[in-house]
A and B are shown apart, each in its own frame.
Chain A
Amino acid sequence: MTTTLIEKEDRREYRATRRRDLAVDLGMTLATILAALIIGFLVILATGKDPVAAYEALLTGPLERSFRVGRWLEDATTLILLGLSVAIPFRARQISLGAESQLYAGALAAAAVAILLPLPPVAAVILPLVAAAAAGAGMGFVPGSMKARLGANEIVATLMLNAIVVRVYDYLVNGPLKQPGSSAVHSKPIQPDSALTPLTDWFGVPLGRANIGFVLMLLTAVALWLLITRTPLGYRIRMTGSNPDFAEYGGIRVPRAIEWSFVIGGAVAGLAGAHLVQGVYGRLEPGLAGSLAFEGIVVALLARNNPLVVVVAGLFYSYLRAGGDIMEQQTDVGTEIVVVIQAVIVLLVTAQALPDLLKRRLIRKQVGAR
């Protein structure tokens, strides 16, 4: 009799802990966003501009017209794919900063297939995507295996690879792949059959360049979530991340798990490159990704590397990006303030001690109340 009572008590305790942790996590996320918005507000105020008008444009602007919604979804697709791509190695506790090189490799591969190979309709869409994922995976394999097999610092390896691939890409777009006879620098367009279907065709309202890539991105997120939570490989990656010594002791081949986390992440970043080529620009452009690669890291962190939460965080983050552009058009406040807000969010998210402090407070309060 007494044992069951204790068990019940234990279970209640456990549930209370889980509820409390979830509440604290959600609360901290909301509080973080709110705090960052307030800081942005104060900065605008300090520079002698009207923060109310600016925030109105920032926060309501993206929803006011359907093509703005399209702009938001298009941006979110690339950003979330990049966020997912780093969330996987992060799960194995690997700081991969290589999303940039993987994206550009993916873009090149997708463009090569979509421009050069004459393919029948459905294959014309799918093969470039496959090629991009493979190229991205290959670009993830290099630093991944260097880390896993040799113990080479993955931060330096991925940064070097970024520097190399971006320059090679730049050379190719300005040189061999430049469309002859065009004054602007870009490649030939992809064949029409390779384009990702615009969402406008489905919904009948103008949604700009938003395309079916958005749906593919959602499917990718769900697939990665299943991979991480429900498969043996996902388990190995998680164990490697939470305690590598224990994982090794438990018979998990840690280097393998690390390598796979890089390869999978790379494939997803490659898809982001394909999305830009097949869905957004329809060709290779210089500086295709802008600063998005690093912002993917922010999204992954904000979501605590949970693939499904990455989608939510990415939607929120790119909403701010889209709103920032509208704010700049409609008011005299520059879009850079959004970057400041985002940076404050990152810095607050990194402050691990804050939620722990809060949790300890709550526990103490509960114990005291009893």
Chain B
Amino acid sequence: MNSVLDVVLSSAFLAAVLRVATPYLLAAFGGLVAERAGISNIALEGQMLSAACTGALVAGYSGSVALGALSGVAVAMLLGLLLAALRLELGADAIIAGIGLNLLASGATAYAVFSLLDDKGGTSGLKSGTLPTIPLPGIEDVPVLGDVLSDQNMVTWLAFLAAPFVAWLFYRTRFGFHLRAVGEMPEAAASVGIPVRRVQYAGLALSGALAGLAGVYLSMGYVSFFVRDMTAGRGFIALAAVFLGGLRPWGVFLAALGFGAAEALAVQLGTLDVPPQLVSTIPYVMTLVALALYAWRRKRRGTGEPAPVSL
């Protein structure tokens, strides 16, 4: 047990938590914005995947990391707009349309990589580079703090800034107020003159951009290439963090950070003869229990509706 503590308290582990939590944080905030806008975004997974693939491919062929990252984010935004259009213009169920978009992203990215590079696995044959890490002069040399905070990828910083940004957006701006109003009660929002559709489109575009940033980080920060289906369910986990966090920015922040910490722990414990697969189930078990407790409490208080039926 001592060795477990040693691992957890090491600065290398804390640095790893920040690295691992980055995609969860960004995708979860993407999910949060969409959920609050009244359209569940289950396509987070597909948006991350498309962004990761586009980012690596564009960066590889153009030689510009920045161009790659931007086009990755742009593609994810387009998918967000597409989801909104399917929902708002064609009356699609957002969950089912999201599943369709995930399928599309999985197939299209694999097809694109295979067509361009003749490689089934990914883009490791393409030199595409990574987004820069940020050294922190001054803090760099502080013993623990420097090891943890310095030389983190720039996207990691963006991920941690996303929490205050989304909190500010929701509670301090007109757009955020409109977004929440539209998500809560679209008819009422429309009756006071809020342009409901426009707000939802904007919300889904922002949601896509955040998920896109998470995806770009996977292929241009975490590693420097795209691997087929490399998101590995992170989008779904991020969605769980949205609900576990009670749809509030700081709650979602803690939930996503928790998932990241648990995954980092699972990786570390793998070296200590504890089955990593079992350790990595902990956050999901916790979420399941939390979900049940939360629902039970709400039911007992009698504030929640009796067994809401979705779809």
Contact = CB atoms under 8 A, between A and B. Distances in A.
Nearest to A350: B92
A226 interface: no
B29 interface: no
Contacts of A160: 240, 284-285, 287-288, 291
A215 to B, nearest CB: 29
A146 interface: yes
A160 B78 CA distance: 28
A351 B92 contact: yes
A161 B101 contact: no
Contacts of A339: 103-104, 106-108, 110-111
A298 B111 contact: no
A174 B270 CA distance: 13
Contacts of B237: 159, 163
Interface stretch (B16-24, B173-181, B205-213, B295-303): B295-303
A346 B103 contact: yes
Q: Chain B interface secondary structure, helix, strand, loop or mixed? A: helix
A156 B243 contact: yes
The DSSP consensus for interface residues of chain A is helix
A155 B95 contact: yes
A240 interface: yes
Interface stretch (A6-14, A165-173, A188-196, A360-368): A165-173
Nearest to B236: A159
Contact of A168 (B100, B107, B278): B278
Interface stretch (A73-81, A109-117, A205-213, A330-338): A330-338
A135 interface: no
Contacts, number: 173
Contacts of A346: 96-97, 99-100, 103
B239 interface: yes
A292 interface: no
B269 interface: no
Given A294-B99, A352-B91, A340 B104 contact: yes
B64 interface: no
A254 B307 contact: yes
Contacts of A148: 307
A330 B115 CA distance: 15
A164 B287 CA distance: 11
B266 to A, nearest CB: 9
Interface of A: 43, 47, 49, 92-95, 146-157, 159-161, 163-164, 167-168, 170-171, 174-175, 240, 244, 254-255, 258, 291, 294-295, 297-298, 301, 334, 336-340, 342-344, 346-347, 349-354, 356
